[in-house]
Structure formats: C-alpha cells, structure tokens
Structure 1
Amino acid sequence: MSRSELRPVIRLRSTAGTGYTYVTRKNRRTDADRMVLRKYDPVAGRHVDFREER
C-alpha cells in the first residue's frame, strides 16, 4: 500500500451551512469511518462541527 492510499487528503465541510471547508489528511487505518471535527467557521463566527465529505 502506498503512502497516498494510507493517508488520503479529505475535505471537511461545515455543518452550519456556510459552505466553508478545511482540507486535511487522515490515517485510513486508524480512522476508517467519516471524520467529524469541531473547528472554527469564520463565516458563521463560531465553532461548529465539520464533517468529512467524499
């Protein structure tokens, strides 16, 4: 398995409906299911959940 398959680049989209996204990498071996992180959304002006989109 190559390095790019193990740690793919994913997009995290805001659940506040602003369309703001973060781009990050994740380890597919330790985080098999969809990632949810609580991060700052500058459009909404507050911290919200960001979900992985495929």
Structure 2
Amino acid sequence: MTRGDARPVVRLRSTADTGYTYVTRKNGRTTPNRMVLRKYDPVARRHVEFREER
C-alpha cells in the first residue's frame, strides 16, 4: 500500500482500556478525521466507543 492510499487500514482501540482492537479500512478522502465507532468489547462485555489510533 502506498502512503496516499484512499482506503488505508486503521486500528480501532477500545476506550474501556482493555487493549482490545478492531482492524478495518476507511475512505481517507470522505473521512479525513479520526474514526469513532461504538462496537462490542468482548473483554469488557459491553458496547463502548472505539477510537482510531495512528
């Protein structure tokens, strides 16, 4: 992958401080800011916010 790729791979880390992560892709042109998604954290056993880390 090149540095200016339109769909880079991003890692989403749980805000519950469990260390759990999701890996996904995002369109960098339409979503230039960091992604925040509410997903299930199996370690915390509840839905929490996952924030993109770089």
Q: TM-score, normalization: structure 1? A: 0.92
- Distance across 1 between alignment mates of 2:16 and 2:25: 22
Aligned with 1:49: secondary structure? Answer: strand
Note the residue ranges of structure 1 that are not aligned, 5 or more in a row: none
Percent of pairs with identical residues: 77
- Distance across 2 between alignment mates of 1:29 and 1:35: 13
Quote the offset at 1:40 in angstroms: 0.0
Q: TM-score, normalization: structure 2? A: 0.92
- Distance across 2 between alignment mates of 1:14 and 1:49: 6
Note the residue ranges of structure 2 that are not aligned, 5 or more in a row: none
Aligned length: 52
Aligned: 1:33 with 2:41: no
More helix by share: 1
- Distance across 2 between alignment mates of 1:8 and 1:29: 10
Quote the offset at 1:49 in angstroms: 0.1
Aligned: 1:45 with 2:45: yes
Quote the offset at 1:53 in angstroms: 0.1
